[in-house]
């Protein structure tokens, strides 16, 4: 099947056509349609078996649209389309396009790109268990998730490392004798020690398989496998290994006994329930493996506005969740029948490589499962609503207190910009700008600056002056990344830093309110004021500006470490004969860091672009010399 790429430009028209002309020339094939507003921003993406019929239905005066659809139609000023060969291709393309553009009027999984996964690096000779927020399709690794609770991810990771003998130091090893076994090996936390070249590949591979069964929720099968391993070890007089397996089995059995038995079947099911109200929608998922409820997660949907039907919300969630899901069960129970059920079954069958059934049960045990999930979804939505209200009250209180303390109207503190710089004796100096809108970080507005005029000269005032000069110069030139005006500027520092920042701002004719926060006594400095302001230690306003200050400090330091690390990598490679700028750049791009080059053999080094055998041998010898 050939599915158009998400980067494919929509169908180009030979002449500039109006929206009415495009509507008149719509094709009758299946495909995706893309609506845009007056600014050219994509605001809605949909799919259709017949593009002409589906798209024209939006613009019929007699159509009985929901209020949300009416708002959508009034904002459509342009449209494009992409024709596909089949409806299945259109569904896949629609999923990809929505994930890429996240249009305003589509129902979307809230912050789905940030959900963490557990990744078992099965493409490596000695796999590790890592936490990641990006799923790479077909990369040879195994993914488990997504999880909405980051704490649960870390706790699961710790449990797996306690139960199974995986590498704990998170480094890539090939079983070459590269170092002495570390403390984890002597504590029996990493018994194989592939770093020292003493690992048994077969035994390690068995531990990886056991961990995979555990993470997949197949504890019953895992118990049978491990019982067989324990018996074999005892028969072979490997009593120490048999005792370890016995302890592992006992721990796994305790975990398994806590899981609720929900039916007598041995199949795998995902149970989906959707609950909506005027504030949005919540989705509760139960994961049933081998007849046991092994886990649950809840998700939030944006763009529902309480107007969308249960069917649409369910359909959009299924498409977006299973697009990147690490596992597709053989049966998915839904709260309502969806119109696209058959085509979605075909899509899921393609992803799983086996039959997948979507079902909306009306009665019986399966219906009770869906109702139980719905009850949990309602509770989750109520808790989220209460938490959101409390958070909103706390933020509003903090903004009012801060505005009152510095003599500003509290309704003006919508956008707060904060600035900080980071360096080591003036070297690798960088600056960071962060933005809080309505008391919350807006990371899409964060900006980084590489300080150009302070190399070797640790002058915090000059660095702050340069950073603010560049920020307001870009604002005056109309750079869209810097056009938003701040209601308040927070400088990490005292009077000197504020003076430098004000001088930079005023040369462009701006007069935005500005304060500084000194690190030592958490005092607020106002421009021109003799005495600082001291907020009560338990005030919400102080907590807010401390949070903003800590965030900009973290952002600047992280950037500084990256710059310093790249410079250190470059300096090491600069000393090696035969490694010029091009090879150095290609080596870093190929391996990612000098540390990985140090662990690579001559053959691996020679595989990098631009390298040959002789250069690889010289590089290997030099890097080994650094290790000794």
The verdict on 419 and 546 lying in the same domain is yes
Q: What is the mean pLDDT of residues 504-517?
A: 91
Question: CA 87, CA 29: separation in Å to the nearest integer?
Answer: 9
The verdict on 316 and 446 lying in the same domain is no
The verdict on 313 and 367 lying in the same domain is yes
Question: CA 29, CA 152: separation in Å to the nearest integer?
Answer: 46
The verdict on 89 and 121 lying in the same domain is no
The verdict on 290 and 310 lying in the same domain is yes
Q: Read off the DSSP letter of residue 194.
A: G
The verdict on 57 and 130 lying in the same domain is no
Q: Which of 589, 567, 547 is nearest to 429 (CA)?
A: 567
Q: What is the mean pLDDT of residues 539-566?
A: 85
pLDDT tier at 264, thresholds 50, 70, 90: very low
The verdict on 30 and 133 lying in the same domain is no
Say if residue 489's pLDDT is above 90. Answer: yes
Domain's final residue, options 537, 563, 589: 563
The verdict on 276 and 372 lying in the same domain is yes
Say if residue 14's pLDDT is above 60. Answer: no
Query: CB pairs under 8 A, 24+ apart, for 405-410?
Result: 405/524, 405/533, 405/535, 405/541, 406/488, 406/513, 406/515, 406/524, 406/526, 406/533, 408/488, 408/513
- Assess if residue 490 is contained within a domain: yes
Q: What is the mean pLDDT of residues 602-612?
A: 85
Structural domain count, the chain: 5
Say if residue 24's pLDDT is above 80. Answer: yes
pLDDT tier at 626, thresholds 50, 70, 90: low
Please write the tens of the pLDDT for every residue from 321-331: 888 887 888 99
- Assess if residue 374 is contained within a domain: yes
Say if residue 562's pLDDT is above 60. Answer: yes
Encode 278-302 in three state secondary structure: CCEEEEEEEEEECCEEEEEEEEEEE
Tokens representing 54 are 């589906």
Say if residue 183's pLDDT is above 90. Answer: no
Total residues belonging to the chain: 628
Whole-number pLDDT of residue 621? 82
Residue 132 β-bridge partners: 117
Identify the domain containing residue 534 by its residue range. 414-563
Say if residue 236's pLDDT is above 50. Answer: yes
- Assess if residue 4 is contained within a domain: no
Contact status, residue 334 vs residue 360, Cβ threshold 8 Å: yes
Tokens representing 134 are 């990006």
Whole-number pLDDT of residue 266? 60
Contact status, residue 441 vs residue 555, Cβ threshold 8 Å: no
The verdict on 284 and 301 lying in the same domain is yes
- Assess if residue 82 is contained within a domain: yes
Say if residue 35's pLDDT is above 90. Answer: yes
**Residue 594's CATH number:** 1.10.150.20
- Assess if residue 402 is contained within a domain: no
Say if residue 435's pLDDT is above 90. Answer: yes
Residue 35 DSSP SS3: strand
**Residue 422's CATH number:** 3.30.420.340
Whole-number pLDDT of residue 11? 46
Tokens 């509507």 correspond to what residue? 23
Tokens representing 97 are 């396009």
Farthest-apart Cα atoms in the chain, separation: 85
Please write the tens of the pLDDT for every residue from 286-331: 888 877 777 778 888 877 765 557 888 888 899 988 888 878 889 9
Whole-number pLDDT of residue 12? 41
CB neighbourhood size of 626 (10 A): 11
Residue 270 DSSP SS3: strand
Domain's final residue, options 106, 138, 163: 106
Question: CA 34, CA 25: separation in Å to the nearest integer?
Answer: 15
- Assess if residue 532 is contained within a domain: yes
- Assess if residue 40 is contained within a domain: yes
Task: Kindly report whether the global pTM for this prediction surpasses the value 0.75.
Answer: no
- Assess if residue 407 is contained within a domain: no
Q: What is the mean pLDDT of residues 421-450?
A: 84
Q: Read off the DSSP letter of residue 9.
A: P
Q: Is there a cis peptide before residue 396, judged by omega within 30 degrees of 0?
A: no
Whole-number pLDDT of residue 263? 55
Please write the tens of the pLDDT for every residue from 324-368: 887 888 999 999 888 888 999 999 999 888 999 999 998 888 888
Domain's final residue, options 197, 217, 237: 217
The verdict on 559 and 583 lying in the same domain is no
Please write the tens of the pLDDT for every residue from 37-61: 988 899 999 999 999 999 998 988 7
Tokens representing 366 are 């399966």
**Residue 95's CATH number:** 3.40.1440.10
The verdict on 309 and 369 lying in the same domain is yes
Say if residue 518's pLDDT is above 90. Answer: no
The whole-chain average pLDDT of the chain stands at: 81
Question: CA 526, CA 223: separation in Å to the nearest integer?
Answer: 66
Say if residue 395's pLDDT is above 60. Answer: yes
Please state the separation of Cα 349 from the chain's center in Å: 26
Q: Is residue 230 within a helix (H) or strand (E), and if so which, with residue range?
A: helix 219-235
Please write the tens of the pLDDT for every residue from 134-158: 777 777 888 887 776 677 777 778 7
Whole-number pLDDT of residue 167? 84
**Residue 299's CATH number:** 3.30.420.10
The verdict on 99 and 120 lying in the same domain is no
Q: Is there a cis peptide before residue 492, judged by omega within 30 degrees of 0?
A: no
Tokens representing 597 are 């080059």
């Amino acid at each position: 099947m050939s599915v158009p790429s998400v980067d494919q430009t929509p169908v180009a028209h030979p002449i500039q056509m109006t929206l009415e002309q495009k509507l008149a020339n719509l094709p009758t094939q299946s495909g995706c349609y893309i609506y845009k507003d007056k600014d050219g921003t994509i605001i809605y993406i949909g799919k259709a078996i017949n593009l002409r019929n589906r798209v024209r239905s939006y613009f019929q005066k007699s159509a009985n649209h929901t209020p949300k659809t009416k708002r959508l139609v009034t904002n459509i000023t342009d449209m494009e389309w992409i024709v596909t060969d089949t409806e299945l291709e259109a569904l896949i393309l629609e999923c990809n396009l929505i994930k890429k553009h996240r249009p305003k009027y589509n129902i979307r999984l809230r912050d789905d790109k940030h959900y963490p996964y557990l990744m078992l690096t099965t493409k490596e000779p000695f796999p590790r268990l890592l936490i990641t927020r990006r799923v790479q399709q077909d990369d040879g690794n195994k993914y488990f998730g997504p999880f909405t609770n980051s704490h649960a991810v870390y706790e699961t990771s710790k449990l797996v490392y306690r139960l199974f003998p995986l590498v704990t130091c998170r480094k890539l090893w090939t079983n070459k004798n590269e170092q002495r076994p570390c403390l984890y090996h002597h504590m029996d936390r990493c018994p194989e020690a592939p770093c020292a070249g003493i690992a048994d590949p077969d035994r390690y591979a068995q531990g990886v398989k056991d961990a995979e069964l555990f993470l997949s929720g197949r504890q019953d099968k895992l118990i049978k496998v491990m019982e067989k391993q324990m018996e074999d070890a005892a028969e072979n007089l490997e009593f120490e290994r048999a005792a370890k397996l016995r302890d592992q089995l006992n721990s796994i059995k305790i975990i398994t006994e806590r899981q609720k038995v929900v039916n007598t079947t041995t199949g795998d099911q995902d149970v989906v329930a959707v609950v909506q109200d005027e504030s949005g929608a919540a989705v509760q998922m139960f994961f049933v493996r081998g007849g046991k409820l092994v886990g649950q997660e809840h998700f939030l949907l944006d763009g529902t506005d309480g107007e969308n039907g249960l069917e649409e919300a369910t359909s959009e969630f299924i498409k977006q969740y299973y697009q990147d899901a690490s596992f597709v069960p053989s049966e998915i129970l839904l709260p309502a029948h969806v119109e696209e059920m058959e085509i979605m079954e075909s899509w899921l069958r393609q992803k799983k490589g086996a039959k997948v059934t979507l079902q909306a049960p009306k009665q019986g045990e399966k219906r009770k499962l869906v109702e139980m999930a719905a009850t949990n979804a309602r509770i989750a939505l109520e808790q989220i609503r209460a938490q959101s209200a409390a958070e909103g009250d706390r933020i509003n209180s903090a903004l009012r207190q801060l505005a009152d303390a510095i003599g500003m109207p509290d309704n003006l503190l919508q956008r707060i910009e904060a600035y900080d710089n980071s360096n080591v004796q003036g070297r690798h100096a960088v600056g960071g700008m962060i933005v809080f809108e309505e008391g919350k970080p807006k990371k899409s507005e964060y900006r980084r600056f590489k300080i150009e005029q302070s190399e070797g000269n640790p002058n915090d005032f000059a660095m702050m002056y340069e950073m603010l000069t560049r920020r307001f110069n870009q604002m005056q030139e109309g750079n869209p990344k810097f056009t938003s005006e701040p209601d308040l500027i927070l400088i990490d520092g005292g009077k000197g830093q504020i003076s430098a920042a004000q001088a930079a701002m005023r040369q462009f004719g701006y007069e935005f309110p500005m304060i500084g926060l000194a690190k030592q006594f958490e005092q607020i400095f106002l421009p021109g004021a003799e005495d600082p302001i001291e907020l009560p230690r338990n005030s919400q306003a102080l907590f807010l500006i401390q949070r903003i200050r800590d965030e900009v400090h973290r952002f600047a330091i992280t950037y500084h470490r990256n710059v310093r690390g790249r410079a250190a990598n470059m300096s090491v490679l600069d000393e090696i004969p035969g490694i010029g700028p091009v090879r150095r750049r290609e080596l870093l791009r190929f391996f990612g860091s000098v540390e990985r080059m140090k662990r690579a053999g001559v053959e691996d080094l020679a595989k990098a672009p631009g390298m040959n055998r002789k250069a690889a041998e010289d590089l290997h010898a030099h890097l080994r010399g650094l290790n000794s």
